[in-house]
Structures are given as structure tokens and as C-alpha cells.
Structure 1
């Protein structure tokens, strides 16, 4: 009993993608509590600093310069510590990304709060410092986003030196040119010679 040729094997089937990792619920709870704590500390610090400024202004006393540096330092320490822990300790990438975003926001808030220590009479100095701080924050944020940018499957394969697989569903198959046998070519040549002779007779 003769066995026919074995058909060529198709393209290898890629292994199934691993399922998403289960996020620890305690990490999510810690993220929620950290967010609430950050909002509370920021609100109390900003309202408290504004209240001290207004009280000193109403009493006709000299402006309390250390107020806003102390508010900025307290905000960075009280909010930066839990957000830093949130950015480093959890195993979930989403929770760590949230912690990094809140940590960057905390540092930006501390820098902008520190600028409020500039006396109101020095408006040009305040605006120049504000512009410089905003430029530095924009550069730092841009580098942070480029560093932690997610890599897609196509870019990951390109970085590893693999060519992306192109689906062939719906595309016409390529027809390979097969040379004709010698006998068939001789028959075609003979027919062409006969056709040429008939045309010559007709012309005569």
C-alpha cells in the first residue's frame, strides 16, 4: 500500500498568551487610602497657609516668610513617603504606576508651594521663578513618560529582531511558474511553423 506525500505543515501556532495577573486587593486598598490621605494633607496645608497669611495681614504684622516653605516641606514628607512606598512595594504594575504619578504630583506641588514664599511686591521675580519651575517640571514629566511608556507587541518583536507575522487570510495564492516539458515545447514550435507557412501562402 503506497502512502501519498505528507502535506507541508502549516505555520507554527503561537503559544496562548498568559492571563492577566491577579491584583492583590490590599494593594488597591492601600492606593485608595493613600489618595485620600494626599487630598487631606494638601487641603489642610493650603488652607492653613492661606489662613496664616490672612491673619498676619489683618493684624498688620510683618509677613511670615517661613509659612509656605514649612507647608511645602510638610506636604512633600507626609504625602511623598506613602506615595513612594506605593510606587515601589506593590507587585501590580497599575498600582506602581499610580504611585509614581502621585509622587511626581507631590514633588510638583511642593515646588509650586515653595514659590508662594516670594513677597507679593516682587512680581517679576515670582513670574520668572514660576516659568522656570514649570519648564523644569515639563521636561521631567516628559522624560518620565518616555521612560515608562508601554511597549506594544509589534515594537517588542522589532526590538528583539523578529519580523511581525502577517496574516495571509483572504490573499490570493502565488502561482509558481513551472517549465513546460520538452515535448510540449516542440509541439508549440511546430504549430507556429505551420501557422507561418499558411500565412505565407495566403499572402502569395
Structure 2
């Protein structure tokens, strides 16, 4: 799906962790879904903005899978009083303010997928929503625990952050737990990305 982009994510992704950072309307959410579809046979999505049925439908369309096969930790529907999907692959955290509860609910879904013996991509949309309520160090610790837990199975984490909502210090704190940062931008009406990891300088900007 990302043949023209400078990303080497094949097979199960080998336990990588990626953070997509960019301004609004630069394709971060779509890119997260596309990457998750590339790195795993199945997906688990932690959603801090959209309800479970919406994010399931979005991922299913990109990955060409059944929506009910997608695992979700929904952090918004309980708080909003929305309808709750009842099945084994969906868990509801109390709110985006409670990362302890989010982590516990994720572990519930994680254990279900571990039993399936399959490669999984784990998406987090978005860290910015967590940072609206929580201290950056609390979000940092949550991300470190999450990425290590996902990596222990050889799965890949793809998270999203809105780069214009936070100062440079917060952004660099959020970058630290990830192996790779993918920056996005819109230039002359085209969405572009560049890739930076710990081992090399950033790539050139590439249309995606």
C-alpha cells in the first residue's frame, strides 16, 4: 500500500513502534490505518476520539476485512453515553483521562489476540487527546509500557499525534519511546511524509 514511501514494514513488522506526527488534515489517520493493514493480519485500535463501530469500519475498508474482526479499546463511548458494541474484541475504558484503565482494557484484548497466533498491528488514535487531560510524563509512561508489551509479541505499534497542539518539549518526550517518527505535511495540495529513525537522518519528503 505504501510502495512509493520510504518505509520498510513487511511481514509482522518485527516489533517496531512508529509515531505519525503532523498538523491537522495531513493524512495521519489514513496513514495509520494503511500501515496497520500492512504490518499485521489483524488489528487492535485504541481510540480516544471515535466510537468503536466507526474506527472498525474505517479500518475494515482500508484492510478489506470484516469489521467484527478488529479489536478496539474505546475510550469515548462510556463517557459520551453512546451505544456500546457487545463482543469479545471490544473493551470500553472509562475515559481518555484514565490511562490505567485504558492499559487494563488493552491487556484484555491483547490476551485474546495472543491466543490467535497471528501478527497484529496496534494503533493509537490519538496521543494528543490523552495529552489534553494528562501530564506528558504520564502519557510517556503509558506509551512505554504499551510499546514494550506489543513488541514482546513481535507486533507493531502505530500511534498518531497532532504536532501543532504541543510545544517542542512535549513532542520530543512523545517521540522518545518510538523507534521511528513519520512526519506528515501538505505541500502544494499533496500529502507528503518523511521518516526518521534512531539510526539515520530523515528521508526526503515523499508523496503518499
Q: TM-score range by the shorter chain?
A: under 0.3
**Greater share of strand:** 2
Q: TM-score, normalised by structure 2?
A: 0.25
Larger RCO, structures 1/2 (Cα 8 Å, 6+ apart): 2
Q: Kindly name which structure, 1 or 2, has the bigger radius of gyration based on alpha carbons.
A: 1
Q: TM-score, normalised by structure 1?
A: 0.26
